[in-house]
């Protein structure tokens, strides 16, 4: 992905002295679909929660913690991604009532749920076991590049509405996946080639496309503010067996600078 970013940025730097060049910084909320979230539930492969609990190296610690016979009672079947922050930057080239642009955005996504362990405690005066919730966590990184075209559809005073369409390159990576028992972390393995490391780094680049709506507030010739919504239909390509298409959503705010004038003013200040 970093080579794709450099390939895109190089020609934009060349055109940066053009008066139609703009750049921006944005932040917002990224809402991922649930098509791939179940891979973090601890039961997706043979190296999940059962493997951890049955590992002889962990047996003594778990026996001391649970005290009585124990077994897995419930694993979440609908584990979900949490809404996450999305940050990045925007580079564009304006032409009359339209703009060609590149968005480069980054999002760190977290998955948090609980696995239930049943403990056969003979002292609880009930035929049912004690139920012990065990935290399960997943962390995932997504890097997105949008190559787009934006068309003005409405304008009044300082408010302008734009309709964007774009092609997206989406890189997904599993950072880690683990359960926590007695304040100690136990990793769930996804990438077997790096099984000794908590950083799994499993993922590939998928293709997508999207659209949405952008509202621009023109402050002055140097600065404007944008608020927008993007709907993206993209492939989250983790492996050959896990690469579904699905809809992702983004809500963002952005500050946009007139790039060439901003750089010129900055250079003049540095000369002084």
| 229-257 mean pLDDT | 94
Give residue 256's pLDDT. 92
At 269, the pLDDT band (50, 70, 90 cuts) reads: very low
CA dist., res. 21 & res. 14, Å (int): 10
Give residue 2's pLDDT. 52
Q: Is residue 226 a contact partner of residue 253, using CB atoms and an 8 Å limit?
A: yes
| 33-42 mean pLDDT | 95
CA dist., res. 185 & res. 73, Å (int): 20
pLDDT surpasses 80 at 4: no
- Calculate what percentage of the chain has a pLDDT beyond 90: 69
- Calculate what percentage of the chain has a pLDDT beyond 70: 83
Number of folded domains in the chain? 1
pLDDT surpasses 90 at 16: no
Strand partners, 104: 89, 145
Q: What is this structure's pTM?
A: 0.84
58-100 per-position pLDDT tens digit: 999 999 999 999 999 999 989 999 999 999 999 998 887 899 9
Give residue 24's pLDDT. 92
CA dist., res. 39 & res. 174, Å (int): 10
Give residue 191's pLDDT. 72
Give residue 262's pLDDT. 52
What is the chain's mean pLDDT, rounded? 86
At 21, give phi and psi (nearest 5°): -80, 135
Give residue 266's pLDDT. 45
| Half-sphere exposure of residue 210: CA atoms within 13 angstroms, side-chain side | 27
192-228 per-position pLDDT tens digit: 554 445 555 556 899 999 999 999 998 887 889 999 9
pLDDT surpasses 70 at 272: no
Give CA angle at 105 (251, 216), nearest 5°: 45
Residue range of the domain that includes 169:
2-271
pLDDT surpasses 50 at 6: no
Lowest mean pLDDT among 105-119, 136-150, 179-193: 179-193
Q: Give, in order, the Cα–Cα distances in Å from 248 to each of 70, 107, 210.
A: 39, 12, 9
CATH number reported for the structural domain that contains residue 206 in this entry? 2.40.160.20
């Amino acid at each position: 992905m970093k080579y794709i970013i450099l390939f895109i940025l190089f020609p934009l730097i060349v055109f940066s002295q053009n008066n139609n060049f703009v750049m921006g910084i944005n932040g917002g909320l990224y809402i991922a679909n649930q098509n791939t979230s179940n891979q973090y539930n601890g039961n997706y492969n043979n190296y999940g929660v059962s493997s951890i609990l049955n590992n002889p190296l962990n047996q003594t610690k778990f026996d001391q913690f649970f005290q009585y016979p124990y077994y897995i009672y419930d694993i979440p079947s609908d584990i979900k991604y949490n809404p996450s922050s999305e940050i990045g930057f925007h580079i564009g080239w304006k032409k009359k009532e339209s703009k060609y642009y590149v968005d480069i955005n980054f999002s760190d996504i977290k998955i948090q749920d609980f696995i239930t362990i049943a403990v056969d405690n003979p002292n609880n005066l009930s035929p049912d076991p004690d139920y012990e919730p065990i935290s399960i966590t997943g962390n995932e990184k997504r890097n997105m590049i949008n190559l787009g075209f934006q068309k003005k559809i409405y304008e009044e005073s300082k408010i302008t509405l734009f309709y964007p369409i774009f092609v997206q390159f989406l890189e997904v990576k599993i950072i880690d996946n683990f359960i926590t028992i007695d304040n100690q972390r136990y990793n769930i393995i996804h990438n077997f080639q790096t099984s000794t490391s908590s950083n799994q780094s499993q993922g590939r680049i998928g293709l997508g496309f999207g659209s949405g709506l952008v509202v621009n507030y023109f402050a002055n010739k140097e600065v404007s503010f944008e608020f927008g919504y993007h709907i993206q239909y993209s492939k989250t390509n983790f492996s050959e067996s896990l690469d579904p298409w699905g809809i992702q959503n983004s809500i963002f705010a952005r500050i946009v600078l007139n790039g060439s004038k901003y750089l010129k003013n900055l250079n003049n200040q540095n000369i002084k």
